[in-house]
């Protein structure tokens, strides 16, 4: 096979996988803005409807650790087509759901499909692309991870304003079907399969461990950290995760090989990835709450504010991938955080007069920073691992990102809620003559600012960790010696 033909096939393979990944990430985030409509239609509370997001995250968090086994046991083609079929069935159920339990069932089936796709995509890049070209390919994955959730609110806002929320899913069905057709025609197997033994004990420990921790953190925002339910689930989750880790370290064929953390570059990149994911997810939830609840902007207004940053991010991700191939992750990560920290600091003192234009420019600066970090950091960590640990490295990377997203979201919602309540009490004690509605708005804005202050501290921590990150040359020497 000549080089150009190989390049075309490689491009086709990546295109099909990226398209499937884009739809799975878009499916994960597009429903968030429709939650108020669903509460009215099915006559359910905010706590109940939140299960559509929490449940999706839980299934993802439970399934991702098992993807290393699945990627060894089944071919690229079998796994990708199966995951897209799950996405198709879940989307169809969501579109026609007559009641909330059916809608939730469809959502969980979607999550099972989405949980497989991203680790599979990363593993394929590691197998198909040489080390010096992986940054560019990972940049394309970064485009999907960041761009899909960023355009979700705008797209959903437009659809809900003119049609029913069901069209979010009816519109998705033909797109998923087209990707499945492409996969049957163009997708080839790139990995070697084997017949590893499935460790059911590890799956049980992983399910209860990750499920408990994710559910505990996800519930903390609504129930509070002192809640018996939250503390019980967190305690159970932590105990089972410790047992899970102990079993992986002592097993000959671990479900998730934690020895990847013996590599310094992989460990450092994982810590930075956790902190940056917390920043990204937190901003995605705090900014819409501030704009819609405290300032009265519509879903569409919020989506349009996020759109320029998302488009710029889409342009920047492949560029940052090429820069990574040339300079390595450390200089890019430092540049990215120099953009991110001021962008977060710029919203630690929000008010009722903070302008829409200011928030748009600040979001653009934040997104530029994120585009320098997301995939270069992941690529640096995965590049540092030997070939036999590719599947495990990919599964670990996606697991920590999913857990970080859940933890970050729960922490900022809790800080925002507690700070809002405290500020409202202070205003009432001071004999403030404002109306109750004004008082609630002011307290809510103060709470959002406090949550952003916490995120700014997370950004500074990420910068400190980045300064200790190995250079490209040092990382290559460590990989060679390993």
pLDDT on residue 125: 76
Read off the pLDDT band of 361 (50, 70, 90): very high
Quote the pTM value: 0.78
300-314 as b/e, with b when 16 or more CB fall inside 10 Å? bbbbbbbbebbebbb
Distance between CA atoms of residues 141 and 137, nearest Å: 7
Contact between 347 and 292 (Cβ < 8 Å): no
- Select from 333, 369, 319 the least CA-distant residue to 139: 319
Average pLDDT value over all residues in the chain: 81
Tell me which range, 107-116, 296-305, 308-317, is most confidently predicted by mean pLDDT. 107-116
Tell me which range, 57-66, 398-407, 440-449, is most confidently predicted by mean pLDDT. 440-449
Mean pLDDT is lowest, of 179-193, 431-445, 453-467, for 431-445
Q: Give me the percent of the chain exceeding a pLDDT of 70.
A: 88
- Select from 168, 229, 178 the least CA-distant residue to 35: 168
pLDDT of 262 over the 70 cut: yes
pLDDT on residue 235: 94
Read off the pLDDT band of 452 (50, 70, 90): very high
Tell me which range, 44-48, 135-139, 213-217, 265-269, is most confidently predicted by mean pLDDT. 265-269
pLDDT of 4 over the 70 cut: no
- Select from 456, 353, 49 the least CA-distant residue to 222: 49
- Select from 262, 222, 224, 206 the least CA-distant residue to 403: 206
Tell me which range, 36-50, 249-263, 327-341, is most confidently predicted by mean pLDDT. 327-341
Mean pLDDT is lowest, of 92-96, 128-132, 358-362, 407-411, for 128-132
pLDDT of 363 over the 50 cut: yes
pLDDT on residue 3: 42
> Would you call 2 exposed, middle or buried from its count of C-beta atoms within 10 A (0-12, 13-18, 19+)?
exposed
pLDDT on residue 1: 40
pLDDT on residue 207: 84
pLDDT of 342 over the 80 cut: yes
**Residues in CB range of 70: below 8 A, 6 or more apart:** 79, 116
Read off the pLDDT band of 7 (50, 70, 90): very low
pLDDT on residue 374: 80
CA dist 369 to 176, 280, 363, 414, Å?
31, 11, 10, 26
Three-state DSSP state, 478: helix
pLDDT of 176 over the 70 cut: yes
CB-facing half-sphere around the CA of 314: CA atoms within 13 A: 13
* Across 132-154, average pLDDT: 72
pLDDT of 185 over the 90 cut: no
* Across 308-321, average pLDDT: 82
pLDDT of 325 over the 90 cut: no
DSSP string, 348-377: SS--TT--HHHHHHHHHHHHHHHHTTHHHH
Tokens of 450: 């406090």
- Select from 387, 376, 286, 283 the least CA-distant residue to 330: 376
Read off the pLDDT band of 47 (50, 70, 90): low
Q: Give me the percent of the chain exceeding a pLDDT of 90.
A: 18
* Across 222-250, average pLDDT: 87
pLDDT tens by residue, 232-241: 999 999 999 9
pLDDT of 142 over the 80 cut: no
pLDDT on residue 5: 43
pLDDT on residue 130: 73
pLDDT on residue 2: 40
* Across 303-325, average pLDDT: 82
pLDDT on residue 6: 47
Mean pLDDT is lowest, of 251-260, 394-403, 416-425, for 416-425
- Select from 286, 281, 340 the least CA-distant residue to 149: 281
pLDDT of 344 over the 90 cut: yes
CA dist 10 to 190, 318, 339, 394, Å?
10, 16, 33, 19
Three-state DSSP state, 250: helix
* Across 85-91, average pLDDT: 93
């Amino acid at each position: 096979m000549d080089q150009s033909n190989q390049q075309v096939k490689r491009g086709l393979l990546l295109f099909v996988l990226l398209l499937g990944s884009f739809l799975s990430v878009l499916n994960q985030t597009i429903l968030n803005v429709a939650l108020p409509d669903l509460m009215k239609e099915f006559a359910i509370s905010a706590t109940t409807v939140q299960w559509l997001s929490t449940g999706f995250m839980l299934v993802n968090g439970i399934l991702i650790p098992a993807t290393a086994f699945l990627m060894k046991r089944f071919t690229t083609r079998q796994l990708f087509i199966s995951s897209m079929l799950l996405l198709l069935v879940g989307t169809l159920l969501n579109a026609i759901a007559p009641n909330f339990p059916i809608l939730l069932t469809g959502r969980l089936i979607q999550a099972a499909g989405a949980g497989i796709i991203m680790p599979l995509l990363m593993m394929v890049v590691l197998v198909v692309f040489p080390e010096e070209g992986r940054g560019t390919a990972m940049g394309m994955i970064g485009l999907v991870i960041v761009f899909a959730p960023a355009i979700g609110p705008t797209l959903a806002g437009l659809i809900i304003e003119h049609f029913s929320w069901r069209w979010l899913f009816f519109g998705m069905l033909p797109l998923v079907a087209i990707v499945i057709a492409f996969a049957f025609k163009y997708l080839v197997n790139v990995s070697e399969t084997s017949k590893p033994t499935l460790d059911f004990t590890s799956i049980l420990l992983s399910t209860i461990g990750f499920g408990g921790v994710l559910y505990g953190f996800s519930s903390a925002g609504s129930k509070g950290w002192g809640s018996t339910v939250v503390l019980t689930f967190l305690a159970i989750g932590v105990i089972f995760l410790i047992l899970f880790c102990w079993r992986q370290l002592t097993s000959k064929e671990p479900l998730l090989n934690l020895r990847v953390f013996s590599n310094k570059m992989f460990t450092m990149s994982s810590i930075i990835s956790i902190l940056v994911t917390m920043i990204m997810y937190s901003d995605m939830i705090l900014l819409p709450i501030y704009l819609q609840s405290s300032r009265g902007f519509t879903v569409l207004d919020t989506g349009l504010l996020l759109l320029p940053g998302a488009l710029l991010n889409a342009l920047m991700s492949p560029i940052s991938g090429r820069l990574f191939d040339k300079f390595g992750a450390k200089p890019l990560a430092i540049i990215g955080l120099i953009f991110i920290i001021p962008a977060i600091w710029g919203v630690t003192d929000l008010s009722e007069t903070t302008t829409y234009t200011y928030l748009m420019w600040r979001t653009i600066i934040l997104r530029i920073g994120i585009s320098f970090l997301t995939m270069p950091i992941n690529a640096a960590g995965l590049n540092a691992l030997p070939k036999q640990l590719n599947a495990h490295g990919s599964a670990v990377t996606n697991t920590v990102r999913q857990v970080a997203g859940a933890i970050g979201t729960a922490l900022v919602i809790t800080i925002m809620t507690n700070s809002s309540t405290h500020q409202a009490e202070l205003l009432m004690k001071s004999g403030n003559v404002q109306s109750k509605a004004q008082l609630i708005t002011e307290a809510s804005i103060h709470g959002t600012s406090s949550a952003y202050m916490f995120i700014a501290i997370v950004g500074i921590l990420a910068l400190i960790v980045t300064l200790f990150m190995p250079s490209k040359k040092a990382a290559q020497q460590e990989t060679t010696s390993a």
